[in-house]
Amino acid sequence: MRRFKIEYLFALPALIVFFIFFIYPFLNGFWLSLTKWNGYTDPTFIGLKNFEDIFQDARALSAIKNTVVFALISTPLLNLFGLGYALLLENTRSMMVKVTRTLVYVPAIISPLIMGYVWFFIMKSGGTGQELLSSLGLNALIFDWLAKPSLALALIITVNTWQFAGMTMIIYLSALQAVPQELYEAADVDGASYWQKLIHVKLPSITSAITINILTNIIGSLAIFDVIVALTDGGPGYATESLSIYIMRMSYGGSTGFAVAVAMVMFFITFIPVMTYIALTKKKGLAI
């Protein structure tokens, strides 16, 4: 009993911090989501009306769709490219490999907003990218790329993948380097090919890294904000507006209670796939 009490005593500071910075704000936010509030005056309780309005608002539904589509496409791409880079660059003896790793990772440490504006000046009508195509005689490809909704969303996903694939690469690299050399030697003795070693040795040995990357990519993709603001500002119209941008605009537009309700919806959109993935991986014995 004494040991049990001491363990809880040591956990108490973390529990207090968790309550102050997560539980209390969440409960307070849930209460505000049930009110009509402009951010200044006293909130008025209106029940679930904000949530009803969300699913009757075409703009809100468009923001939800854009966010989910972005996450569904961006998360697999980030992991595929990150793992691909890691497999190509796992040799630590080559100086060129080390330089390439650095070049792949550097974009991830730059602000997404700044990186978004860099790509905006490349992609915009009359930008450096279109000037390059013009010099190559590819005039058929010159038009306002960011003015087409489906193409604009695809470009946003491309920029995000290009910038953050290096982050997933680093995690995969650290996991690959931790694989015991004896496993590779045993596979060589058995005459395993590269692909057989990849499937039966490398991938089963880095399941924790796969889990970490997928979870962080899901959370990051569903919270996408900066790169959209820089490239399209949610346009054309509201065609590429994400939930994060929609929440900000509703909050500053005097509909703070409604914005908090949208934030609650966004929380569960993030929470449900994350917990589902954790449950599935734990069931298969692959959880962290």
The pLDDT of residue 141? 84
Largest CA distance in the chain: 79
Distance CA 11, CA 14 (A): 6
The pLDDT of residue 287? 53
Number of neighbours of residue 103 by Cβ within 10 angstroms: 10
Number of neighbours of residue 143 by Cβ within 10 angstroms: 12
The pLDDT of residue 134? 87
The pLDDT of residue 6? 79
The pLDDT of residue 274? 87
More confident residue, 281 or 80: 80
Q: Is the pLDDT of residue 131 over 60?
A: yes
Confidence of residue 133 (pLDDT cuts 50, 70, 90): confident
The pLDDT of residue 109? 92
Tell me the per-residue pLDDT of 99-128, one tens digit each, with 9 for 90 and over.
Answer: 999 999 999 999 999 999 999 999 988 888
The pLDDT of residue 77? 96
Query: H or E segment at 145?
Result: none
What rounded mean pLDDT belongs to the chain? 90
The pLDDT of residue 235? 87
SS3 89: coil
Confidence of residue 282 (pLDDT cuts 50, 70, 90): confident
The pLDDT of residue 280? 80
Q: Is the pLDDT of residue 264 over 70?
A: yes
Burial letters 165-182, b for 16+ CB under 10 A, else e: bbbbbbbbbebbeebeee
In this prediction, residues 215-235 reach a mean pLDDT of 92
Confidence of residue 91 (pLDDT cuts 50, 70, 90): confident
Of the chain, the end-to-end C-alpha distance in Å amounts to: 29
Query: H or E segment at 173?
Result: helix 149-177
Distance CA 286, CA 288 (A): 7
| The two structure tokens encoding residue 28 | 């307070």
Tell me the per-residue pLDDT of 136-184, one tens digit each, with 9 for 90 and over.
Answer: 888 888 888 999 988 999 999 999 999 999 999 999 999 998 999 899 8
Residues 6+ apart with CB under 8 A from 265: 51, 54, 64, 243
Q: What would you report as the CA-atom Rg of the chain, rounded to the nearest whole angstrom? A: 23
| The two structure tokens encoding residue 48 | 């679930």
44-58, 233-247, 268-282: least confident range: 268-282
Q: Is residue 179 a contact partner of residue 213, using CB atoms and an 8 Å limit?
A: no
pLDDT cut 70: percent of the chain above it: 96
More confident residue, 242 or 93: 242
pLDDT cut 90: percent of the chain above it: 66
Q: Considering the entire predicted model, what is its pTM?
A: 0.88
More confident residue, 11 or 283: 11
Give me the numbers of helices (H) and strands (E) for the chain, helices first please. Answer: 15, 2
Residue 125 dihedral angles phi and psi, to the nearest 5°: -60, 120
Tell me the per-residue pLDDT of 51-89, one tens digit each, with 9 for 90 and over.
Answer: 999 999 999 999 999 999 999 999 999 999 999 999 999
Q: Where are the alpha helices (DSSP H) in 192-255?
A: 194-197, 203-205, 207-222, 226-231, 243-252
